[in-house]
Structure 1
Amino acid sequence: MHNNSESRPTQQKNLLRVLLITGTFMIIEVVGGLLTGSLALLADAGHMLTDVAALSLSAFAIWMAARPSTPDKSYGYHRAEILAAAINAAVLLMLAIWIVVEAYRRFFEPPHVAGIPMLLIGFVGLAVNLVSLKVLEDHGNETLNIRSAYLEVLSDAISSIGVILGGATIWLTGWFPIDPLLSVGISLFIVWRTWALLSQAVHVLMEGVPTRLNAREVGQAMVAVPGVKGIHDLHIWTITSGLDALSAHVVVPVGEDRNAVLGHLQQLLRDRFGIDHATLQIVEERSDRVQVE
């Protein structure tokens, strides 16, 4: 996956616009939830907090990616995004647990909830999400960061629809238990997304093979390059979202044109697998045995 350096400033500008819109409405939802007594609004505000965090991380990652490396940080500051994602995921999981516990208590003793204000805030939230989606849609397929931000806002639009349904139900029927029920649904949605985020962050920190790649397939493709007799000590990992790295020992026959082999391998890794950062060590060997480890 490649970052388009020319579009990076535009991506960051649009992310900051959406971040401002989303963050402002999140505050409105918190105030609205406290004034109306709606736990569903507070739960949706927590859901929007995941959007704010994801958008912040995406904008932060774009900014950090532009910073040069230093002698003591040869990869620069790319991993800051992953660390922030892991911390953010842990906080959001605790928030979701609190909402579920509070919803359980409220289900048996449902407090009065102002249905009309809840309904109106839900409609405003949906409008805010639709505007944010429009801002991001032109860059939706450029990078993993932008794509994940787009999906965050899209899922929050679905959550806003839940708040609208809750407000309408309370307004028309006066059935207050719908509020904690919706809160649990929104919280479970937060847990599902947050657990996926935490799993990805841990996988990256453990230097696992990027989920979009198959190490065996990469190794076999490298062995198929003319002049390559074998590949061993193959390692593939993610530095940060959209930036994967690879290292390997490449076995070639004695007398083989090393530069040509390296050029073909680097082109293969770049064009077919989207790996720009590859460290390859040539090992000459007389054996005809092909090996992929």
Structure 2
Amino acid sequence: MHHHSHTHSHHHNDLKGRNLLISIFLNVIITISQIIGGIVSGSLALLSDALHNFSDVLSLVVSYVANKLSKQQASIHRTFGYKRAEILAAFINASTLMIVAVLLIIEAFKRFQNPQIIESNLVIWLSVLGIVANGLSVLLLKKDSKANMNMKSAYLHLLTDMMASVAVLIGGLLMKYYQMYWIDSVLTFAIALYLIYMGFDLLKDSTKVLMLFTPNTIPIKKIVAEINAFQSIKNVHHVHVWQLNEEEIHLEAHIDFHEDITLSQFDVILHKIEAFLYDEYDINHVNIQPEFGKDDAKDIIVQD
């Protein structure tokens, strides 16, 4: 009933894939530079930034693979194809953000108790490299991050990285001109808290989709009341609403009719229900089981 043009979306997907590849390449360069620089200079903030960058490389690779998989055709063994690959990628990436953050907090605490002299010039130049490369990656992914959870997870990794590099730059300048070596630990701690703050929402949202929870935008009771108001419908029950991925929201329900109607009459009513759900709530996959006088539970939500 609802037709979508796929030409534009294929071209858009190719562009998303290309932008991700460029970001992976840039992040590999930063990571290697920062690991070497962190070891040579003795800067924990630089090494923590490198660790975060390495997690970025992994998350971008996961995002890239998921982006490619999501375009695979459905089959007998995978009737939904790999449509959930990008949601899974978002969940993995959000989880790694949180794990990296905890590791950084532990390291920052240890270093704060035992501050060390750091080669600040190297820290300054490498943080500038991080700001430029991550800034470019952030710009590449910004547009897609608004509509796609997977791209948002990659974008968040890169954005927090850019912020971390800014923090490391400030720290490097303070160490160079004021010998405030303890600032290295404080900045590492701040970067970690920011990672937790950014990653938690994404972890929550991707978990909701994976657990088949009802999307926040869908008021089930209101929808049921509105369909119940349709002529010839007696009762709407046994309702399930879930989000398959960013593009698809599915609804299935049993509908009791007042009369024993024909299939063609049911088709007319089904067409109206589909149009209503799509126009009002963006629900684009509807599966209705028609019933007449069937003795089953009539609650809106029935435990299967």
TM-score bracket, shorter-length normalisation: 0.7 to 0.9
Give 1:24's aligned residue.
Answer: 29
Bigger drift between 164-173 and 132-141 goes to 132-141
Deviation at 1:11, TM superposition (A): 1.9
Give me the whole-angstrom Cα distance separating, in 1, the residues matched to 2:246 and 2:188: 31
Q: Which string of whole-angstrom CA distances, capped at 9 and with x for unpartnered residues, describes residues 31-85 of structure 1?
A: 2222221111222233334543443343333222211222232222334444454
Q: Kindly tell me: are residues 15 and 84 of structure 1, through their superposed partners in 2, closer, same or farther at Cα, counting changes over 3 Å?
A: closer
- What aligned pairs does 1:83-232 form with structure 2 within 5 A after superposition? 83-224=88-229, 228-232=233-237
Q: Classify the secondary structure of the residue corresponding to 1:236.
A: strand
Q: 1:69 to 1:207 in 2, by over 3 A?
A: same
Q: What is the rounded CA distance, in whole Å, between the counterparts of 1:162 and 1:238 in structure 2?
A: 38
Q: Deviations over 1:111-131 (max 9, x none)?
A: 111212111211221111221
Residue identity opposite 2:51 in structure 1? G
Change beyond 3 A, Cα 1:187–1:77: same
* TM-score normalised by structure 2 residue count: 0.81
- 1:265 paired to 2:269: no
Find the aligned partners of 1:32 and 1:215 in 2 and give their Cα distance.
Answer: 55
What is the deviation of 1:189?
1.8
Q: Percent identical across equivalent pairs?
A: 28
Q: Write the letter of the residue equivalent to 1:105.
A: K
Question: Could you say what the CA RMSD is over the residues aligned between the two structures, in angstroms?
Answer: 3.0
Q: Partner of 1:240: helix, strand, or coil?
A: coil
* Aligned residues of 1:228 and 1:261 also touching (Cα < 8 A): no
The SS at the match of 1:186 is helix
Distance 1:112 1:216, change over 3 A: farther
Q: Report whether the alignment pairs 1:5 with 2:9.
A: yes
Matching of residues 280-291 of structure 1 within 5 Å: 280-284=288-292
| AA matched with 1:32 | G
One-letter identity of the residue aligned with 2:278: R
**How many Å separate the matches in 1 of 2:210 and 2:145?**
26
Stretches of structure 2 lacking an aligned partner (at least 5 in a row): none
1:238 alignment partner, one of 239, 243, 248: 243
